[in-house]
Structure 1
Amino acid sequence: MTSSTPPLREAARAVVVDDDDDRVLLLRYDENGGFWATPGGSLEDGEDHSTATLRELSEELGIDEKAVELGAQLAERSKDHLVGGREVRQVEKYFLTRVSAADVDPARASQPDNIREHRWWTLAELRATAQTVYPRGLADLLTSVLTHGAPMRPVVLAG
């Protein structure tokens, strides 16, 4: 029996932290039993990860690109999963993104996809929740970033 590697799907994701309270913004989805995740999505033809991150923030949350302080790449994650009924190997790069909570306006979102809710989480709430949050290890990553700054090299997160 031979197994083949699913096609590669490159994605860019934002770890959105508000300017004032160091809260992180997560989006809730209903599929797969429901989960919370960072904003982001796949790269379009000719796009780099930074450009895709800014585009996704505009499309999903109505954030004006000029209001975004896009920081360093914090992490990377690779995971096989279904997209549109087809298995892919998604490789995600996570970028630190600072915005004011007032700059988030889902009413301006052009492609809200299946987002059911957006919510700002404190580190304490993130650590205490029993709900599924992706990427796994986000609370530890964010704690380290807020305490020590961005890592010298992107952290590899578990699937």
Structure 2
Amino acid sequence: MTARRRKAARILLLDGQDRILLFLGQDPAEPDETWWFTPGGGLEPGEGFREAAERELVEETGLRGVAFGPLVAYGTVSFSYQGQRYEQEQWFHLARTARTELDHSGMTEDEHAVLLGARWWTVDELRATAETVYPAGLADFLARLLAEGPPVDPVRL
């Protein structure tokens, strides 16, 4: 099966306590497997990474007025969704918010089918969990971001 290629904007959203927002999700075709992942999604035609990140964050969380920072990481991920293979180039924006109450009413039907929950995580909680978290290495990268600030150039995750 040929993989569908797409570009995606993802958000490392931190609250006032340096916790990161992650969603618990699943592929409806594989309901026994779950994982935690960052907000974000695919770029629409003519859209840049920043525009897509801002749009996706509002759709998925209802949060507006979020302070967006720089692109801090990038990577490529392969995954399957509803039997379709994807190759996704993704770029991660750092962002901060004082608000932590989420509103999922702007999500699409597909997003509602995938999203099982949301949680704000500390670095220590990420390091301690046995659950699957994407991107791999997120806890260590987040700890470095909090200690050193954003990298001069985005790093590969």
Distance 1:109 1:14 in 2: 17
Shift of 1:118: 0.7
Q: Is the 8 A contact 2:60 2:106 kept in 1?
A: yes
Q: Which residue of 2 aligns with 1:73?
A: 71
Q: Which residue of 2 aligns with 1:133?
A: 133
Q: 1:90 aligns with which of 88, 91, 102?
A: 88
Q: 1:13 aligns with which of 1, 10, 15?
A: 10
- SS of residue in 2 equivalent to 1:109: coil
Following TM superposition, the consecutive aligned residue runs of length 4 or more in structure 1 with deviations greater than 4 angstroms are none
Q: Is the 8 A contact 2:70 2:150 kept in 1?
A: yes
Q: Which residue of 1 aligns with 2:24?
A: 28
Shift of 1:76: 0.6
Instruction: Output the aligned Cα RMSD.
Output: 1.7
1:101-120 matched pairs, under 5 angstroms? 101-102=99-100, 104-111=101-108, 112-113=111-112, 114-120=114-120
Deviation track 1:27-83 (CA, whole Å, cap 9, x = no partner) reads: 00133510000000000011000000011111111112xx21111111111022224
Shift of 1:89: 1.1
Q: 1:5 to 1:152 in 2, by over 3 A?
A: farther
1:57-72 matched pairs, under 5 angstroms? 57-64=57-64, 67-72=65-70
Deviation track 1:122-147 (CA, whole Å, cap 9, x = no partner) reads: 11101100000000111111111111
- SS of residue in 1 equivalent to 2:150: coil
Q: Which residue of 2 aligns with 1:149?
A: 149
User: TM-score, normalized by length of structure 2?
Assistant: 0.88
Distance 1:45 1:52 in 2: 10
Q: Is the 8 A contact 2:2 2:85 kept in 1?
A: no
- SS of residue in 1 equivalent to 2:73: strand
Distance 2:4 2:104 in 1: 34
Matched-pair identity in %? 39
5+ long unaligned stretches in structure 2: none
Distance 1:42 1:117 in 2: 20
Q: Give, as a single letter, the amino acid of the residue that structure 2 aligns with 1:105.
A: L
- SS of residue in 2 equivalent to 1:132: coil
